[in-house]
């Protein structure tokens, strides 16, 4: 065998091993919450799981954490939403807290044909107001529906269907993902929801993360463009969120081909203020917002019709894939 080929093969194997060891080639395929799939199991017998916590503005925040890999991973995910002194302290520095009351136990969880039936102990009802109740319910629904086998959730407490919480929050028999962190409770007319991703930070500014926000907008034939234009407008001031997209940015054009969306922005998008972290956040907020639309798997960004380079070096010559996890391992 030629020496050049052997040298090339050895080098290739070395590079491959390096990427695997660093986790760059991690398998991102989804699994059932009640099944076992070693593809998402880390070397330390842990599994990346998206959990929903609450921040200081009472907004739900998705967080990707490594939790111990077990057969009943759905139950384990819910148990990680329950307040304990240790978990509360762990999250406190990031300005987050668990959404389920202390002492809550998962008495049962079954999943059939997309419906997850979860039975909580009576402590689940120990929430002080409707905001806490609504956040607890949505945290459970959004955490469970991160698993591909779950589309709907039926709530029970001590074996009985939960129809109404002590502070007045009512539940449908089957609860779906709907209007997370809704800006305005007034809905109706031809308004439809879009999900936008803004940034939030801990009180000391040490930790930053993305928060999904539901905004009601007028129905349009080009909802993706509308979503980006709303993203550029930024969040409402009272929500404690920020947008890194300059307010004078324009969406020149937007096209979709299969799972790819190509967006052409005006040059004003480069005026975000500089900084690698801000530039990455700008790109991520766009991709996360567009990825909320069914079928979108990757996004190509352009500036004035050119696929060049953003000020801090982000290359725009290739599509950016939909992220497998949001807010990964920032805690």
pLDDT digits 0-9 by tens, 72-91: 899 999 999 999 999 999 99
What is the model's pLDDT at position 31? 40
Q: What ranges do the domains of the chain cover?
A: 38-161, 191-321
pLDDT single digits (tens) 97-122: 999 999 999 999 999 999 999 999 99
**For residue range 286-295, what is the model confidence (pLDDT) as tens digits?**
999 999 999 9
Distance CA 124, CA 97 (A): 15
DSSP conformational letter for 325: S
Q: Which helix (H) or strand (E) holds 253?
A: strand 251-257
Q: What tens digit of pLDDT does each residue of 210-250 get? A: 999 999 999 999 999 999 999 999 999 889 999 989 999 99
User: CA–CA separation, 266 vs 262, rounded Å?
Assistant: 13
Whether 244 contacts 210, CB under 8 Å: no
Q: What is the DSSP string of 25-64?
A: T-------TTS--GGGB-TTSEEEEEEEEEETTS-EEEEE
Summarize the confidence of residues 276-290 as an average pLDDT.
95
Residue 181: per-residue pLDDT: 97
Mean pLDDT on 33-45: 49
* CA–CA separation, 295 and 318 (whole Å): 18
Q: Tell me the CA end-to-end span of the chain in Å, nearest whole number.
A: 50
């Amino acid at each position: 065998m030629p020496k050049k080929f052997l040298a090339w093969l050895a080098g290739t194997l070395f590079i491959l091993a390096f990427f695997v060891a660093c986790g760059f080639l991690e398998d991102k395929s989804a699994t059932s919450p009640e099944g076992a799939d070693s593809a998402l199991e880390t070397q330390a017998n842990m599994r990346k799981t998206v959990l929903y916590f609450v921040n200081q503005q009472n907004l739900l925040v998705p967080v990707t954490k490594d939790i111990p890999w077990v057969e009943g991973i759905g139950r384990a995910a819910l148990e990680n939403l329950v307040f304990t002194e240790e978990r509360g302290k762990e999250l406190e520095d990031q300005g987050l807290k668990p959404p389920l009351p202390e002492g809550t136990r998962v008495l049962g969880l079954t999943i059939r044909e997309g419906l997850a039936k979860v039975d909580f102990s009576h402590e689940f009802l120990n929430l002080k107001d409707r905001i806490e109740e609504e956040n607890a319910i949505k945290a459970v629904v959004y955490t469970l529906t991160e698993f591909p086998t779950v589309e709907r959730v039926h709530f029970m407490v001590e074996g009985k269907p939960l129809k109404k919480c002590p502070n007045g929050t009512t539940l449908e028999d089957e609860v779906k993902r709907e209007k997370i962190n809704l800006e305005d409770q007034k809905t109706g007319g031809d308004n439809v929801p879009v999900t936008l991703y803004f940034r939030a930070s801990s009180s000391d500014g040490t930790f930053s993360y993305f928060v999904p926000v539901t905004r009601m907008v007028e129905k349009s034939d080009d909802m993706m463009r509308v979503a980006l234009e709303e993203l550029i407008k930024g969040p409402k001031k009272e929500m404690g969120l920020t947008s890194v997209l300059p307010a004078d940015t324009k969406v020149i054009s937007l096209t979709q081909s299969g799972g790819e969306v190509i967006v052409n922005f005006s040059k004003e998008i480069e005026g975000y203020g500089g900084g690698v972290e801000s530039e990455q956040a700008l790109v991520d907020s766009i991709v996360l917002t567009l990825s909320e639309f069914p079928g979108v798997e990757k996004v190509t960004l352009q500036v004035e019709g050119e696929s060049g380079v953003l000020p801090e070096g982000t290359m725009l010559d290739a599509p950016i894939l939909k992220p497998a996890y949001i807010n990964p391992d920032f805690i």
